[in-house]
């Protein structure tokens, strides 16, 4: 038996690694407090297609009976829900109607609930979502939690969106309490954000203004780019290599939507 519970929830990566290792381990492995994220469920389904014996995917208890070998299969993985949410926020923060294809709404219910609470509207189909901007949005309070709660990997991008909301919003980070390094960069752009421990207090402003900024990690990079798209004037984001770990051809996709964005190579 392996227990993966921690102070801030279960670990997605630890669950994935142990589940993979256990598929060919001798005997039965029980994972308690396993991650229940859609990505873990999808990995379990993939391994089962290969011949693994796994029960309980989607719950916090996984039972894996080791097998002697796995077989090769063809498998289509689920869409990236964090990338989808990021592009959705890009549409709202710029007041644009955009369509995000290969969108799985049930993977982002908590995020969509908060978007609706802020006054955002959207249209969804079997595998797409279209943003429907309707003026300025409202402030909200949110808390990041393990799935199915609000995803911590959309916290920074959501904060960019809330910098332009009417009123005062709060964002409490319960998964990674110190995940606020992007706050200083958003303030450079004219945001009004203060920190109180694991809580960010965001006072909505009328506009953001372009500035020189520095990316510090993957999701912070995306948040700064989103804010830059909405800001007046030019925004420069350095150390953008962080972004490439989670977004493929990010600037190209945004440019295809009409954004004025380009990547410049440095000679450092």
34-54 burial, b for 16+ CB within 10 Å, e for fewer?
bbbbbbbbbbbbbbbeeebeb
Domain boundaries, the chain: 2-65, 81-256
* CA angle in degrees (0–180, nearest 5) for 34-8-185: 125
Distance (Å, whole) CA 79 – CA 252: 19
Residues in CB range of 153: below 8 A, 6 or more apart: 82, 219
Is 254:120 a contact under the CB 8 Å cutoff? Answer: no
Query: Other C-beta atoms within 10 Å of 29: how many?
Result: 19
What fold does the segment set 81-256 form as a domain? UDP-n-acetylglucosamine1-carboxyvinyl-transferase; Chain (3.65.10)
pLDDT number for residue 126: 83
Kindly give the confidence (pLDDT) of every residue in the chain, 268 residues in length, as a single tens digit, with 9 standing for 90 and above. 999 988 878 899 999 999 999 999 999 999 999 999 999 999 999 999 999 999 999 999 999 999 999 999 999 999 999 999 999 999 999 999 999 999 899 999 999 999 999 999 999 988 899 999 988 999 999 999 999 999 999 999 999 999 999 999 999 999 999 999 999 999 999 999 999 999 999 999 999 999 999 998 999 999 999 999 999 999 999 999 999 999 999 999 999 999 999 998 876 5
Distance (Å, whole) CA 250 – CA 248: 5
pLDDT number for residue 134: 82
Looking only at the bridges linking them, the beta strands covering 199-203 and 168-173 are: antiparallel
Distance (Å, whole) CA 215 – CA 221: 5
Helices (H), 189-261: 218-230, 250-256
DSSP single-letter state for residue 126: S
pLDDT number for residue 267: 62
Is 217:178 a contact under the CB 8 Å cutoff? Answer: no
């Amino acid at each position: 038996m392996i227990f993966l519970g921690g102070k801030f929830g279960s670990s997605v990566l630890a669950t994935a690694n142990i589940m993979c290792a256990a598929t060919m381990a001798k005997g039965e492995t029980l994972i308690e407090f396993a991650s229940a994220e859609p990505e873990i469920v999808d990995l379990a389904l993939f391994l089962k297609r290969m011949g693994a014996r796994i029960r309980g995917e989607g719950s916090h208890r996984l039972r894996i009976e080791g097998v002697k070998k796995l077989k090769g299969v063809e498998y289509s993985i689920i869409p990236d829900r964090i990338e989808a949410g990021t592009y959705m926020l890009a549409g709202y923060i710029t007041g644009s109607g955009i369509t995000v294809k290969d969108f799985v709404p049930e993977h982002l219910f908590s995020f969509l609930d908060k978007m609706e609470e802020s006054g955002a509207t959207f249209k969804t189909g079997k595998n797409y979502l279209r943003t429907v901007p309707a003026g300025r949005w409202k402030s909200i309070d949110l808390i990041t939690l393990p799935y199915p709660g609000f995803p911590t990997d959309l916290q920074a991008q959501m904060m960019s969106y809330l910098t332009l909301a009417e009123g005062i919003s709060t964002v409490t980070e319960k998964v990674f309490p110190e995940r606020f390094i992007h706050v200083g960069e958003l303030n450079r752009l004219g945001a009004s954000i203060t920190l109180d421990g694991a809580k960010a207090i965001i006072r909505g402003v009328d506009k953001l203004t372009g500035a020189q900024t520095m990316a510090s990690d993957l999701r912070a990079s995306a948040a700064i780019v989103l804010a830059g798209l909405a800001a007046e004037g030019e925004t420069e984001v350095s150390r953008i290599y962080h972004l490439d770990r989670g977004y493929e051809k990010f600037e190209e996709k945004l440019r295809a939507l009409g954004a004025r964005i380009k990547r410049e190579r440095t000679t450092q």
